[in-house]
Structure 1
């Protein structure tokens, strides 16, 4: 009883919300796993997300040109920051891993300083693996043209399967 009372009191503190947030178990196929320095787990020591879970997170729809698409393309998905918040992530670097084992190290500031999204849809349609899906990290090239360079292109991982949060 004392343990429950202490846990309830700790969860009432603003600084402890990330530790106390419950992360539901995915009901569909897992498309993203967040590992490493996280507080909210639902599959062992990881935070697993299916498409439905990702669609409930805050995000944006944006139309922009990218080096990987022809002309103006619409992308839609949750903010990277929203995914990290849901997992209770804390670290300095994100190791974004693709299905083909390509990985890019991305500073956490790219999630907090920019409206970076994990696109689930391109031109209104879910992205297949063949079309860079199921998740494609998209920087806000439409809002910040200074991001349109090789530095951010190399961090724009597609076919994302995992985000490892490291120090």
Structure 2
């Protein structure tokens, strides 16, 4: 009975995106989070493979963006779920692309908006060629007031690193 309760509690915790410790990635690392972290898993960083990210709470949203023609369905973990899993504490984020492009994003965007780190577009994994492996997507489908240059400039694609700043 104790084993059943422990398994149920573990599944509930995974489903809510809450983590108290972070396992090391088993597959290729697609995201490294650094800065003030309570749950690092590789040195002082939190590293995630795709499978780890896909276990976190997230959403799918179909929306128009300035980067695509028509409507695209993006899915992936909530940015806040990734930051929670890493135990990140800070006031802003530096989102860094694989080509070193970066954007400053208030920590509150992760906490208060349903921003996702999209891993899929129209159900398909996103390759580097197609803005992957991760693309910060704001909930343009849920809040039309976000559809402006302020949030477009924060929507970094080909994300490899997130730096948590105080």
- Aligned position for 1:134: 133
1:22 — aligned with what? 21
Residue pairs, 1:10-49, within 5 angstroms: 21-49=20-48
The runs of at least 4 consecutive aligned structure 1 residues that moved more than 3 Å come to none
Query: Whole-Å Cα distance in 2 between the matches of residues 115 and 159 of structure 1?
Result: 19
Deviation at 1:37? 1.1
Q: Render the CA deviation track for 1:46-89: whole Å, top value 9, x for unaligned.
A: 00000000000000011000000110100000000000000000
Post-superposition Cα deviations, 1:6-36, rounded to whole Å, max 9, x if no partner, equal xxxxxxxxxxxxxx81100000000000000
Mapped partners of 1:86, 1:69: distance in 2: 31
Q: Distance in 2 between matches of 1:118 and 1:69?
A: 17
Determine the structure 2 residue equivalent to 1:109.
108
Is 1:57 equivalent to 2:85 in the alignment?
Answer: no
SS at match of 1:146: helix
- CA RMSD between the two structures: 0.8
Q: d(CA) in 1 for partners of 2:83 and 2:99?
A: 22
> What is the rounded CA distance, in whole Å, between the counterparts of 1:75 and 1:93 in structure 2?
24
CA drift of 1:158 comes to 0.1
The SS at the match of 2:110 is helix
1:82-121 deviation digits (Å, cap 9, x = unpaired) = 0000000000000000001000010001001110000000
**Inter-partner Cα distance in structure 2 for 1:57 and 1:25:** 15
Q: Which residue of 1 aligns with 2:149?
A: 150
SS at 2:37 equivalent: coil
What is the Cα deviation at residue 38 of structure 1?
0.9
**For this pair of structures, how many residues does the alignment match?**
148
Tell me the secondary structure at the aligned position of residue 136 of structure 2: strand
Structure 2 alignment gaps of length 5 or more:
1-18
Structure 1: which 5+ residue stretches go unaligned? 1-19
